[in-house]
Amino acid sequence: MDERQGDRYGLSSDQKDALGVLASADPHAGQSKWTIFRQLPPAKRWPYFAQHFLPGVLVVGLVLALLIGLVVTRLTRPPDPLISVQGFNMSTHEEGFDRLKQGFMRDQGIKDGRLVDMEATLTLNGQGYDDSAKALTRVTAGQINMVIAPAGLFPTLCKRGLVAKPSQGLKGGDLRRLASQGVLVDSKGRQVSNPSHAMGLDLSRSSRWKQVPGLPKHAILGLSNIADTVSYVRAFVNYMDFD
């Protein structure tokens, strides 16, 4: 093959130069990415950083943000109450409920007001425009441990599954004593002598309840979801000083 044929079928000078570049040794071979980054001229550093470092930096930043958020949430979240007592259709008696709360806290030596939740904010009217769903959700979640309702409303709470039998939280001896004092009532608010038939406690027999001005005389105290609060539920019943 003559020289002219070699030029015709061979590589051009540009192609030969390109092959030479590809065949040359990589000047950064064996170096870390960080070393390479520091050796690059300023104009090439950002593109190299964006390609090799930026995704990792973003992932680390996201993980740190999530961890910080969890820590802040944990530190700023209020403590779970030791006991939660909810009144129904008694919003005009919030002041009386607060006085009961303060007295119970003093009796138990509790300093933090967030540890005792005692309010009368929920309503039930049977017309679909009440707090039935909210009440059931809170009871199921263990956020309501005891309920207080006017005597005429208490049967409705029982029908809606918001009240548990006193025997689920109170001791047998205490139940028998309360029965002998005429404190126990059934789901209709009628006095019962058999503790196994009881659903609530008649607050008209409570010295503490009667001492608070403005509270309705005919009201009933019932247990609800007491899973983790049984000791404070018993303490609250004792504090109410039934006679």
pTM of full prediction above 0.85 = no
H-assigned helices in 163-219: 172-180, 207-211
- The closest alpha carbon to 40, from 32, 48, 31, belongs to 48
Is the confidence at residue 223, as pLDDT, over 60?
Answer: yes
Please report, for the chain, the start and end positions of each structural domain, with discontinuous segments joined by +: 27-77, 83-239
Query: In the prediction, which pLDDT does 48 show?
Result: 76
Instruction: State the chain's mean pLDDT as an integer.
Output: 85
| Mean pLDDT score, 164-176 | 95
| Mean pLDDT score, 193-219 | 95
Is the confidence at residue 93, as pLDDT, over 80?
Answer: yes
Is the confidence at residue 6, as pLDDT, over 90?
Answer: no
Which distant-in-sequence residues (6+ apart) come within 8 Å of 40 by Cβ? 48
How far apart (Å, rounded) are the C-alpha atoms in residues 69 and 131?
33
Is the confidence at residue 10, as pLDDT, over 50?
Answer: yes
Query: In the prediction, which pLDDT does 4 show?
Result: 47
Query: In the prediction, which pLDDT does 79 show?
Result: 83
Which distant-in-sequence residues (6+ apart) come within 8 Å of 220 by Cβ? 148, 149, 150, 151, 154, 185, 189, 200, 201, 202, 203
Q: Give the confidence band of 232 by pLDDT, cuts at 50, 70, 90.
A: very high
pLDDT digits (tens, 9 = 90+) for 41-52: 877 777 877 777
Q: Give the confidence band of 166 by pLDDT, cuts at 50, 70, 90.
A: very high
Q: Show the tokens assigned to 71.
A: 């820590």
- Name which CATH class applies to 83-239: alpha beta
pLDDT digits (tens, 9 = 90+) for 113-161: 999 999 999 999 866 678 989 999 999 999 999 999 999 999 999 999 9
The rounded radius of gyration (Å) of the Cα atoms in the chain is 37
Query: In the prediction, which pLDDT does 228 show?
Result: 82
Start-to-end CA span in the chain (Å): 125
Q: What are phi and psi of 162, to 5 degrees?
A: -95, 0
Is the confidence at residue 204, as pLDDT, over 90?
Answer: yes
pLDDT digits (tens, 9 = 90+) for 31-80: 677 777 677 787 777 787 777 777 777 777 788 787 776 766 566 666 88
Q: Could you tell me which residue, 50 or 109, shows the higher pLDDT?
A: 109
Is the confidence at residue 15, as pLDDT, over 70?
Answer: no
